[in-house]
Chain A
Amino acid sequence: MKTVLEVENLYVNLPLPAGMLHAVGNVSFHVNQGETISLVGESGCGKSMTALAVMNLLPRRGVRTADVFSFEGRNLKNACDSEMADIRGNKMAMIFQEPMTSLDPCYTIGNQLEEAYLQHRKAGRREARDRAVFLLEKVGITATDNRMKQYPHQLSGGLRQRVMIAMGLMCGPSLIIADEPTTALDVTIQAQILRLLVSLQKEFKMGLILITHDLGVVSRMADRLAVMYCGEVVETGTREEVFERPLHPYTRGLMACIPIPGKTKPGEKLGSIAGIVPTPIGELTGCSFRNRCPYAMPECTTTANELKEIAPGRAYRCLLSPESCTEKWKQA
């Protein structure tokens, strides 16, 4: 299978008055054609920063470094702004969380859809229009001629997100980055939008990077996933591996936190992770999760915590051995 995006040892640093913020550290992943990978974590874990780093849309002072950064076989490690602008919205598209704020209220839907196409293709207005109508129909919008003339405020949240998806597809990208695509939507609409995204992804054979904090969404969509904490990947694997046998105490803690109808007993106490996510500012040593970890040991403070690979594509960042992890979950 063709690899669309390959990233190795990605670092994003942001100089702040309080010190250097290590927003993303040592993150490696790859996306194959037609595959969904998911970055999961709580707010502040660096999942959105990773996406912005891939798109080269970081805040101005943000510094991105990587050992390997290749997209469709092209090395983009030191790509200049114009080279990235050529790829962005063309071969690489992004769907943002909040369709209300990511669409321009002053332009019609049609106008906004056509813009990227006119920018990246040597095409006329009519061709762009036809493409827009074709994609609006693809994303399940009816009466497309009317919709093209409407403004974002005239559409519901679900429709707006459909427009966003259509917009991402205008130039036939090979990679789509969806940053919390359904967080702002109702549950009933969420399932529809996700189904749509999956069916389009399969149809156009795109790679999909799904960024979300919702473990339910991940467990049903991702082929592979990476759990992030404090800018680092703490666990990776296929969704079956991670959900059935979580190895990192953080992954395990997250899964215990959510009420699951049929599994958790109503009214009973849910699991929780004590404390809050620390901000990765300044020099970092040891495990970033040690302050909240129920199994923390003295070595966690001092020992450099490397991502341990136990099988191809299956890795976790903890000093405990896989056997002792499983043992400890059973006792808990």
Chain B
Amino acid sequence: MEEPIIKTANVTKTYRISAGAFKGNRSLRAVNGVSISVKRGSVLGLVGESGCGKSTMAKMILRIEEISSGEIYIDGKAVSSLPRRQIARRVQPIFQDPYSSLNPRKNIASIITLPLRALKTGSPSEWDAKVDEIMKVVGLAPRLKFNYPNQLSGGQRQRVAVARALIMHPALVLCDEPTSALDVSVQSQILNLLIDLRKEFGLTYILISHNLAVVQHMASRVAVMYLGRIVEEADSQMIFRNPLHPYTQALLKSVLTPDPHQGLPETHLGIAYPNPIDPPSGCPFHPRCPKADDRCTREVPQASVKDDHLVECHYPESAA
């Protein structure tokens, strides 16, 4: 079997947070034993509500955050043993908000070449040619080269962010909510661009998003996160056609597709997302689960895999 481009083994991130004056610190498990692997050339969609740990996961892959325990392997090499610059050659991020992820005091050319300068790749004359080339690839007019981010529209800014991520020709691009700050018509432009670039450069994406319609459109495999755990993971088609975890089912039900003949769905999810400092006993999803019983409050469910479809639930069941 081909080596996965990125593999995480039981990755955990624990933050120490103050519980108040004169009290000891408490620990918050943002990511709790996540094992995923992404095949070269595929797109992994990572979905979940805010606070579920999906962005923390991204930060650990980029090593912006240190891993508390477990290990991430990029091309078979452990991330903790690699210097940050080495990681940056293989993995590049695209962030959510192009209004805050671009330095307002640098012009477009210098924003795009930053990875080259930081990693001391090539000479300034080569950089210039590379900028022209990559700007063409992502669909930015050459005249914008010496403009500043505030002169650009949201869609153009996100194209700059894409250009910056691709200039090192990374193998893996981490897209953290790449379109959620954009308008609908611009969102589709950026998604189309990402689809084209993947084909052209054979890229692998990890797409973090709360928009399930976008994830279904882009991803080949989907992992659903809840309170720092992957609760369900399967091929995109399989998970959307036959979700087994009640949380995934509720998530899918709450997607509002444009359909004038349907009303608003009832999700039975309760009001509150649990506080990750005090995670519920047993199955972390049980306080919001319509199927929960005694066993769910006591026992933590173990992952079971069937037909390459992972689910962490005591009573996995098709909704139909």
CA distance A195 to B267 in the complex (A): 10
Which residues of A in the span 177-219 have a Cβ within 8 Å of any Cβ on B?
186-192, 194-195, 198, 213-219
Q: Which of B188, B253, B273 contacts A258 (CB 8 A)?
A: B188
CA distance A267 to B42 in the complex (A): 11
Chain A residues with Cβ below 8 Å from B212 are 187, 261
> Residue A16 at the B interface, CB < 8 A?
no
Digitize B227-269: 1 where CB-to-A-CB distance is under 8 Å, 0 elsewhere. Answer: 0000000001100100000000011011111111111111101
> Residue A322 at the B interface, CB < 8 A?
no
Q: Which of A156, A188, A257, A268 contacts B269 (CB 8 A)?
A: A188
Whether B254 pairs with A188 at a CB distance below 8 angstroms is yes
Whether B260 pairs with A216 at a CB distance below 8 angstroms is no
Whether B271 pairs with A219 at a CB distance below 8 angstroms is no
Q: Which of A156, A194, A215, A221 contacts B272 (CB 8 A)?
A: A156
> Residue B50 at the A interface, CB < 8 A?
yes
Chain B residues with Cβ below 8 Å from A254 are 184-185
Whether A214 pairs with B256 at a CB distance below 8 angstroms is yes
Q: Which stretch, A48-56, A58-66, A92-100, A270-278, touches the partner chain B?
A: A270-278
Whether A259 pairs with B214 at a CB distance below 8 angstroms is yes
> Residue A260 at the B interface, CB < 8 A?
yes
Given A156-B273, A219-B259, A259-B214, are A191 and B188 neighbors across the interface (CB < 8 Å)?
Answer: no
Interface residues on B, range: 35 or more
> Residue A159 at the B interface, CB < 8 A?
yes
CA distance A309 to B259 in the complex (A): 24
CA distance A125 to B267 in the complex (A): 37
> Residue A105 at the B interface, CB < 8 A?
no
Whether A266 pairs with B251 at a CB distance below 8 angstroms is no
Chain B residues with Cβ below 8 Å from A262 are 257
Digitize A207-241: 1 where CB-to-B-CB distance is under 8 Å, 0 elsewhere. Answer: 00000011111111100000000000000000110
Given A158-B272, A258-B184, are A186 and B260 neighbors across the interface (CB < 8 Å)?
Answer: no
Report 27 cross-chain contacts, Cβ distance below 8 Å, ordered by A residue: A42-B185, A162-B271, A186-B210, A188-B49, A188-B250, A188-B254, A190-B254, A191-B267, A192-B267, A195-B266, A216-B258, A219-B258, A219-B259, A220-B260, A220-B262, A220-B263, A242-B260, A254-B184, A257-B185, A259-B191, A260-B258, A261-B240, A264-B217, A270-B191, A270-B192, A272-B192, A276-B155
Q: Which A residues are closer than 8 A to B by beta carbons?
A: 42-43, 140-141, 156-159, 162, 186-192, 194-195, 198, 213-221, 239-240, 242-244, 253-264, 266-273, 276-277
